[in-house]
Structure formats: structure tokens, C-alpha cells
Amino acid sequence: MAKKFDTNPLDPDFPQRAKAAAASTAPQTPYKTAEFPKSPSSITEEETRRFGEADFQAYWQTNPHPAAGLYQAPAFSDMNAASSRKVAKVGMPEKFLIGLPYLPFYIGLVAGLILLLVVPKEENKVRFHAAQGLAAHLGILIVTTILGIVGGLAEFGSFIFQAVTVVMLIVFAIKAWRGKPVHIETVDDLTNFLEEKIGPLK
């Protein structure tokens, strides 16, 4: 005699009894499981249309952004250019002032010191170039003095060093005036020190 929970897989009537039991206990619902299309060829999908530059320009002209006329991004070539605006308390164009501290023959040394004493802290670009130019001149002055003290063969080396530094300072002055980056890594610490310690006179 079979037991109540007999699940002998060898019983030939077991699958039918199990199916009948599942059907009687399954919840009844009016909904049916969605069926997938039988033939993939019956699916049609429109290819996504490319939105090219001409389409974009046409759309932009017919549907301009509300703020489109309020701001115009500068050209990439002008991003680093020195401006012609006059710097506060000096009254001279910025592009002239950032090249002035690199002029040779101690002109830049004096100019850099004066700019650090006059230009406000808000003028970061002008003050940085003033400090870096002053630091470069101080470094050149120290090396030239040491070579002069040594004498002899060092005098010729001092002449070559001064000639090279004059050319280098002129190149730096032109680059700064054109708005190109000028970074003298060897005087970074001195530049930061001078810019921080020499503030504008009240």
C-alpha cells in the first residue's frame, strides 16, 4: 500500500498525479504570459538617424538657446593671451607688465621689485611674473658674483654666462608679453617666497 507522501519515481502514474495536483493548487489569473514573436524576420526596426554638424547648425539657428547671445567662448588660441586691460594702481596694460620683470641689465630686477610693492594681491598673473623675474635676476646676480670672485678662467665663463642670460631674459620677456607660459623651475622656491613676503605698500 502506497504511503501518503510516496514519491517513488518508478511509479508510472506519478507524473500525471503531480501535474494534476499542481493544476489544482495554482492561483487562477486572467492574465497570460506575453509571448515572443515566433519569427525574428517579422521584427522591423528603423535605423537611428545620425545627427550631423549640418543638422545641428540648422537646429541651433531655428531653436537658439536663450543664453546663446549672452556669452561667447573665447577662441582656444586666446585663452592664455595677456590682456590689454590696465592694472589697478599702476595704470599700465597687463601684457606689458608681465614682460617687464624679465628685461635684462637689472631693469627687470628693479621693475619686479617695484611691481611686488605696488600691485595688489588680486593681480595674480602680474605678481607671479614680477616675483619670478626678480628671482631669476637674483639668481643670475649671485652666479655672476661668484664667477667674478673666482677670477682667472672663470672670468671668461662669467662673460659667456652673462651673454646667455641676457638672451634668455629677452626670450622670457617676449614670451610673457605674448601670453605664453614662462616657468623657471630652478627658482620656484624663491619665486613663491618673494611673492608671499613682498606685499603691496599700504
Tell whether 51 is covered by a domain.
Answer: no
CA 120 – CA 134 distance, rounded (Å): 17
Backbone phi and psi for residue 83, each to the nearest 5 degrees, phi listed first: -85, 165
In three-state secondary structure terms, 57 is helix
Identify whether 56 is part of a domain: no
Evaluate whether residue 151 is within a structural domain. Answer: yes
Q: What are φ and ψ of residue 16, in 5° steps?
A: -65, -40
Count of domains forming the chain: 1
Residue 201: which residues within 8 A CB-CB, separation 6 or more? 117, 118
The domain of 192 spans 90-197
- Segment 94-102 shows an average pLDDT of 93
Q: Is residue 98 part of a domain?
A: yes
Instruction: Give the mean pLDDT of 147-155.
Output: 78
Q: Say whether pLDDT at 78 is over 90.
A: no
Tens of pLDDT, residue by residue over 25-63, are 656 656 566 555 555 555 555 555 565 666 666 666 666
Contact 87, 154 (CB under 8 A): no
Between 135 and 82, name the one with better pLDDT: 135
Residue 105 lies in a domain: yes
Residue 72 lies in a domain: no
Kindly report the number of other CB atoms within 10 A of residue 145's CB atom: 11
Judge whether 29 lies within some domain: no
Is residue 20 in a domain?
A: no
